[in-house]
Amino acid sequence: MKTFACGDVIPGCSARFTAADEDGIFSQVAGHAAADHGVTTVTPELVAAVRAHIH
């Protein structure tokens, strides 16, 4: 089981995600980032930052 707290990358955000694997986390985070943060382009830097904080 993997978990990710958006606030680890975007300070002040309280969204948390849980999925069976990293792909599940990324699919949820991509939707959340677009809807709540206006992030429509998932850059390699963003992927690396998210991956570094997946537990």
Residues that bind Zn ion (CB under 5 A): 6, 10, 13, 15
d(CA 3, CA 41): 22
> What angle (nearest 5°) sits at the alpha carbon of residue 48, between those of residues 15 and 39?
50
CB-wise, 15 or 30, nearer to Zn ion? 15
Half-sphere exposure of 13 (CA within 13 A, CB side): 17
Work out how close the CB of 50 gets to Zn ion at its nearest, in angstroms, rounded to a whole number: 10
Work out how close the CB of 43 gets to Zn ion at its nearest, in angstroms, rounded to a whole number: 16
Work out how close the CB of 13 gets to Zn ion at its nearest, in angstroms, rounded to a whole number: 3
